[in-house]
Amino acid sequence: MSTKEWFFCPPESSVGGYQDMTFDHENQNPVLIQIDNPEEYQVLKDEQFHQVKIAIDAKEFDRLAIAWCKKRQLHEALGGPVGKEFGSPDSE
């Protein structure tokens, strides 16, 4: 049994994101996105090809993406200033 390390799990949302826990400095396990009652979904499967399409609200996806970027400290890759959440002394 593994422990989930949630990076996005607001109580009012049907969308969540997590990784299985690791004791390494940087968790490289796959990211899992859990969506309860998606607006739309489609599963295509044949012998050599599998595809899953899931639709969620765009604003909810924004929140999930921002939480992921904060967890992974990707602020430099996004070209923005470093904020308080990353310990910047320049941030108010």
**Residue 92 within any structural domain of the chain:** no
**pTM score, whole prediction:** 0.75
User: What confidence tens digit (pLDDT) does each residue in 65-83 have?
Assistant: 999 988 888 877 777 766 6
**Residue 90 within any structural domain of the chain:** no
The pLDDT of residue 87? 57
**Residue 11 within any structural domain of the chain:** yes
For tokens 């990211």, name the residue.
Answer: 31
User: What confidence tens digit (pLDDT) does each residue in 7-18 have?
Assistant: 999 999 999 999
**Residue 32 within any structural domain of the chain:** yes
Nearest to 17 by CA among 9, 29, 28: 9
**Residue 82 within any structural domain of the chain:** no
50-55 and 31-35 strand pairing: unpaired
**Residue 88 within any structural domain of the chain:** no
The structural domain count of the chain equals 1
**Residue 44 within any structural domain of the chain:** yes
Quote the domain boundaries for residue 46: 4-74
Give the phi and the psi of residue 59 in degrees, each rounded to 5.
-65, -35
